Amino acid sequence: MIDPTPLAPVIEDAAMTASITAGTLDAPTLIETLDPDLASRLTSRRGLFTRAAGTLGALASAPTVLAVASSEAFAQGLPGQVVDVLRFALTLEYLEAEFYRTALATRGLIPARYRPVFAQLARHETAHVRLLQGALGPAAIPSPVFDFTGRGKYPDVFANFDTFTTLSSTFEDLGVAAYKGQAGNLQGTPLLTTALQVHSVEARHAAEVRRVRGYVGWDGAFDAPLTKAQVLAAAAPFLAGGV
């Protein structure tokens, strides 16, 4: 996969890997393949500087469970913007928690040597769900229904360890980018520090799963954020009730 030609082939790579099938997955993460627009934004890394560009279209496809207007939910005195952030985070944590719970309950999927890693991931994601439910109180949303096959694209997600870890890596990196992208919306509230404390745990997860898959734990010296719309576009195939 090492390409000596700078920059230009990156998007081609993304297009190529988007068509790979489960079992021949050959990249640390699938984030850049889940949504072609997302791929170009990520590879150009312009998202840091032109945040608004290109996000409105993706927002239109956000799952309805997340489209609930914040105006109806002033949980425990939280500002609507904060409620939005917490619900968004809770959705991702529901996804991760159920993903690992299902995997750990699937006999023969996770080799014994890696089981402590995924047990720890499940422990944390379940704790994050409880934490966010507690913070939201009555404004907490119920768990969406998930389709971890990504609408059939990864049918062996719980039968093939490579497929499972590829999606695990993708979800963890997505979580890191999602929390990072929301930090600004929590600035000036006590929840900022809490969100940062979750964010770095997700990054630890992301690195460890990459290592399980035989990769180094990072892409480079700086991790890029993703907007809510970008994250939802990437996660949409796994939200069964979505779009």
Partner 1 sequence: MPAHTHSVSETGPEDAARPRRTFLRSAALLAASTAFLELNLAEAFAQRGATLAGGVVDLGQGDLAVLNYAYALEQLEAAFYTQVLQRPYRGFNAADEQSLTGIQSHEVAHREFFRSALGGNAIPDLQVDFGRVNFASRPSVLGTARTFEDLGVAAYNGAGQLLRNPDFLAKAGSIVSVEARHAATIRDMLNPYSAAFAGNDVVDANGLDRALVPSQVLPKVVPFVLTPVSASQLP
Q: Does 206 help bind partner 1 (rule: CB under 8 A)?
A: yes
Q: Does 11 help bind partner 1 (rule: CB under 8 A)?
A: no
Name which of residues 40 to 79 contact partner 1 (CB under 8 A): 43, 45, 48-49
DSSP code at position 43:
H
Q: Does 19 help bind partner 1 (rule: CB under 8 A)?
A: no
Phi, then psi, of 137 in degrees rounded to 5: 60, -130
What is the tally of helices (H) and strands (E) in the chain? 9, 0
Q: Which is nearer to partner 1, 22 or 140 (CB)?
A: 140
Cα angle value 43/161/149 (rounded, 5°): 65
Phi-psi label, residue 156: left if phi above 0, alpha if psi -120 to 50, beta otherwise? alpha
Contact 178, 92 (CB under 8 A): yes
Q: Does 143 help bind partner 1 (rule: CB under 8 A)?
A: no
DSSP code at position 222:
S
Q: Among the candidate windows 53-61, 64-72, 156-164, 215-223, which touches partner 1 by CB under 8 A?
A: 215-223
Q: Does 199 help bind partner 1 (rule: CB under 8 A)?
A: yes
Q: Does 207 help bind partner 1 (rule: CB under 8 A)?
A: yes
Q: Which is nearer to partner 1, 22 or 78 (CB)?
A: 78
Count interface residues toward partner 1 (CB under 8 A).
60
Q: Where are the strands (E) in 76-149, listed by range?
A: none
Phi, then psi, of 239 in degrees rounded to 5: -100, 100
Measure the N-to-C terminal CA separation of the chain; round to a whole number of Å.
34
CB of 61 to partner 1, least distance (A): 25
Q: Does 124 help bind partner 1 (rule: CB under 8 A)?
A: yes
Among 81, 200, 241, 243, binds partner 1 (CB under 8 A): 200
User: Which H helix or E strand runs over 184?
Assistant: helix 161-186
Contact 75, 134 (CB under 8 A): no
Q: Does 151 help bind partner 1 (rule: CB under 8 A)?
A: no
Site of interaction with partner 1 (CB under 8 A): 1-7, 9-10, 43, 45, 48-49, 113-114, 116-117, 119-120, 123-128, 130-131, 176, 180, 183-184, 187, 192-194, 196-208, 211-212, 216-225
